[in-house]
Amino acid sequence: MTNTISILGSTGSIGRQTLDVAEQLGLRVAAMTANSSVERMEAQARRFRPRLAVLTDEPAAKDLAVRLADTDTKVLGGFAALEEAATLPETGTVVTAVVGMVGLKPTLAAIRAKKRIALANKETLVCAGQLVMDAADRYGAEIVPVDSEHSAIFQCVQGCADRREIKRLILTCSGGPFYGMTYDEVGKMTKADALKHPNWKMGPKITVDCATLMNKGLEVIEAMRLYRLPLEQVSVVIHRQSIVHSLVEYRDGAVLAQLGTPDMRLPIRYAMTYPNRGENPAEPLDLLSCPPLTFAAPDRESFPCLRLAEKAANQGGTACAILNGANEEAVRLFLADRIGFHDIPRLVEKAGREVPVVQNPDLEEILAADRAARRAVLGK
Ligand code: NDP
Ligand code: MG
């Protein structure tokens, strides 16, 4: 179990829930980072008294430094400071809870510093999974997934010494707010509709990704990278209740699943306490009062993003970085009311067509693919 953690993205949905868990488990928080949320960061810093607080937005960091002048917390601004937060010597576990590809460099820095990575920032694995996993192997850094599906799988493979015994990973998917609609009906949905997730309360980007099913597509790629499996061995099943968090089918036909209430603090707690389990003060799952558990096939016609992600997963190389960069940019435009819902898959597909794929990319080639994909979306 970890005693001291650093949280990249402490003001977000995962970051705040990580602080709840840290408080419950009595963990020390050495560093916390955010982009520009000055007030929330000030409140968090006063409560958790980290050694370092970072805001990547420089003017916001200057403001924070003034506000925290009476405390022992050092304040830094800018992106490079994320790497300092990720590598403090006293930190055992770095929780990567920033949203988007910006998490990649600090995650790699934490790996090089041999930290345990409690990985929520899925975009990092989608863009540079091979690089991240190879670095983790080389430096002996543990990666413990926080994403609920991947945490479920991680829990279901404990005790599995030979990964060849795994036949298939089955990722569950809530289906999002537009489940059951036709392609045309989905196209009429607005930002407000997309931001209403049936089971989870999350940041805006991932909530939109859940509505398009791109989130599940990103998670398929995340699972392929974490467990080094081909696409044929990672499948998706719709499970509206979000109680079965994912399953592992073994060669002998046994299927192991992890169940729980839809509460991200459970996988976050497990990433902190692994290989042990900590006390959870929340209400436990009551099988007798929970709704009937149902399963269905995903609809790739109404939700083309899942199909696009699977295509990129098959292409390999920089295809997933292109997919992710285009999606980040398209979701940003959608959240700014500048494009419609179906423009998201349309623009992702456009970037996939226009940006050439490089196989076995290095970090620079991945970053270049990300930039090119964003330019393709913006028509530049
Ligand atoms: P939020 O949008 O709620 O929080 C994002 C955090 O990252 C905030 O602290 C934000 O700071 C910071 N941030 C945003 N942009 C930047 C930037 N450019 N540079 C530095 N920091 C930045 O996101 P979530 O907590 O929902 O998601 C975080 C990650 O976890 C995502 O990758 C998501 O896919 C993954 N995840 C989330 C789940 C959830 O339940 N929320 C479930 C599974 C995975 P500020 O407040 O200043 O903007
Ligand atoms: Mg998930």
For ligand 1, whether the C-beta of 11 sits within 6 Å is yes
The per-residue pLDDT for range 155-175, each reduced to its tens digit, is 999 999 999 999 999 999 999
In terms of C-beta distances under 8 Å and separation of at least 24 residues, what long-range contacts does 199-207 make, across chains too?
A: 199/174, 199/241, 199/242, 199/262, 200/174, 200/242, 200/262, 200/264, 201/13, 202/13, 203/12, 203/13, 203/14, 203/99, 204/335, 205/99, 205/100, 205/328, 205/331, 205/332, 205/335, 206/13, 206/99
Dihedral, 262, 266, 268, 271 alpha carbons, nearest 10: -130
Q: Whose CA is nearest to atom 42 of ligand 1?
A: 147
pLDDT (0 to 100) of residue 200: 76
pTM of the model as a whole: 0.97
pLDDT (0 to 100) of residue 198: 75
pLDDT (0 to 100) of residue 199: 80
Report how far ligand 1's centroid is from the alpha carbon of 286 (Å): 30
pLDDT (0 to 100) of residue 1: 62
Is there a contact between 41 and 32 (Cβ–Cβ < 8 Å)?
yes
For ligand 1, whether the C-beta of 222 sits within 6 Å is no
Mean pLDDT (10-residue bins), the chain, 380 residues: 91 98 97 98 98 98 98 97 98 97 96 98 96 97 98 97 96 97 96 87 94 98 97 98 98 98 96 93 93 97 98 97 98 97 98 98 97 95
Assigned token pair, 51: 């050694």
Residues with CB under 5 A from ligand 2 (ion): 147-149
CA distance 372 to 300: 26
Angle of the 304-315 helix axis to the 214-227 helix axis, nearest 10: 30
